[in-house]
Structures are given as C-alpha cells and as structure tokens.
Amino acid sequence: MTNLVIVVFAIAYFHLGCQTTPYKRAIPRDRTDFTRFHESGFPLNIDPKIISASEANLADDDLIMGAVINGDARAYPVNYMNGPYNEVVNDHLGDLPIAPSW
C-alpha cells in the first residue's frame, strides 16, 4: 500500500511540475530596449560599447575571453564580466548574435 501511495504521489507531482513554465509570457526576439533586468531577475547587458584594444586599458596578464567568427573578433575582459550586471553579454559578431558568459 505504501508503494502505491508513493507511485500515485510521484505521478501527480511529475504531472503538475511539467505544466509550469518559468516565464509568464514569451519574450519577443526583436526586443532590444531593455538592458538591466529580465523578469526572472537575471541581469542583461545588450550590445556593449565596443572599444579598440589600445583604449581598453588592460594589463598584459589580464584574463580575457575571446571569440572569432568569420574574421570578426571580440575580447571580453573577465574582470569586467565579474559582477552583477555583466555575467552575460548579449552581443553581435558580424551578423551572428552571441552571448558570452562568465
């Protein structure tokens, strides 16, 4: 009898859990006018300002993440990515959207 109760509870729990969604509504793909927090509370950083390597004021031993796609390149300093507003950057490399994260 105990096993039957456990199985019934597990099926009900699984069924109810599969019906929930993490968001109240779909997020439009073309929406780029928000830059701070998504409704889930996760900070967003969209299309960051791009500067040249000489303007970046980085030390030789600073850790960076880099991406190269079809000859287009970006570098993201890890110390900039550490923090509540920069853990993920929504960016474009050429025509391709990318989302480097730390």
Residue 65 near residue 100, CB atoms below 8 Å:
yes
What mean pLDDT is reported for the chain? Answer: 71
The predicted pLDDT at position 93 comes to 87
Grade residue 34 by pLDDT with cuts at 50, 70 and 90: very low
DSSP assignment, residue 102?
-
Arithmetic mean of pLDDT, 66-88: 81
Q: Determine the Cα–Cα distance for residues 91 and 66; give it in Å rounded to an integer.
A: 13
Length of the chain, please? Answer: 102
pLDDT for residue 44: 63
52-56, 59-63, 85-89 — which is least confidently predicted? 85-89
With 0.95 as the threshold, say if the pTM is over it.
no
